[in-house]
Each structure stands twice: as C-alpha cells, then as structure tokens.
Amino acid sequence: MDTLFDLPETEPEQAVIAHYRLSDDQYGSPAEREAIYDAERVMTAAVEAAGVGEVDGNEFGGGEAVLYAYGADAEALSKVIEPALRSLPFRPAHVVLRREVPRIGVPSGPVTRHSSEVPQLQQPSAPSRPLRSLRTTYLLLSDCST
C-alpha cells in the first residue's frame, strides 16, 4: 500500500497518444471530427479483440485532435492501433509512446509528509518498490504508409 494515499500498488500503465493537425485553429471540420470518431471505433474494436488495453477517448481544440489509448505495453498497443492511426489523412501528425521503466539501483520507499509539507523519502524497507521513470518515443506519421 502507498503510505501517503493508502492506495494499492498497480502495474504501471503505458500510453499511446496520437496528435493530428486539423484544417482550422479550433475543432476541425465536421468531416474531420467524424473521421477521428470512425478511427476511434476501429481502434477500440482492435484493442478489445487483442486484449492489449483500452482506447480512452479523444480531445479536440486548438486546431488539433488527440486520441488516447492505455495498456500494459505501449509497443503492443501501438502495433494494434497503427493501421487505424495511419488511415487518418491529417498531417502533420505524430504519436507518443509513453512507457514507465524501472530505475535500477535507486533506493525507494514510501513517501511521507513532514511539517514542511515537502515529500521526503523514508529509508527503504524490504521489500521496497522500485522507482519508475518515463521513457517516451515520438513517431512521425508521414504522408506515405509503411
């Protein structure tokens, strides 16, 4: 359990986040939004069939559409949804694969609050949970499919 928040420990969740530039500086055209919704439905079916995670929705705004998917393995998840991502015609576009990886050799322990309200690490006690760091990969979706 997490001492500070009393939460159960869970496996780290990894993410695939796809960004697409739309035709205007706001929410894109109705046809663009419909294409994103269609791709999201295809992605959801593929992810559920493969059992590699979940598609968690989208965001529109600022001339961009963003699709979110989460699972235990960002590489496996990206391979399943890549055909749907590449099918979208909007460019420029890029995909972010966010992975948490263990940091080897770094002591860890529960986080507690002291009177200064600054998080402090306690001395690790066995068994201790390894600290994790994020590793991010950016993939550029070009105009040609591979």
pLDDT in tens, 44-68: 999 999 999 999 999 999 999 999 9
pLDDT above 80: residue 117: no
Q: What is the distance between the alpha carbons of residues 128 and 87, in angstroms, rounded to a whole number?
A: 44
Q: What is the pTM of this model?
A: 0.68
What are the structure tokens assigned to 144, written together? 């040609």
Quote the percentage of the chain above a pLDDT of 70. Answer: 60
Largest CA distance in the chain: 57
pLDDT at residue 130 in the model: 44
Check if the beta carbon of residue 101 is closer than 8 Å to that of residue 14: no
- Read off φ and ψ for residue 100, nearest 5 degrees: -100, 135
Residue 136 pLDDT > 80: no
pLDDT tier at 99, thresholds 50, 70, 90: confident
Indicate the CATH number of 14-104+134-141 among 3.30.300.30, 3.40.50.620, 3.30.70.100, 3.40.50.720.
Answer: 3.30.70.100
Per-residue pLDDT tens for 29-49? Answer: 999 999 999 999 999 999 999
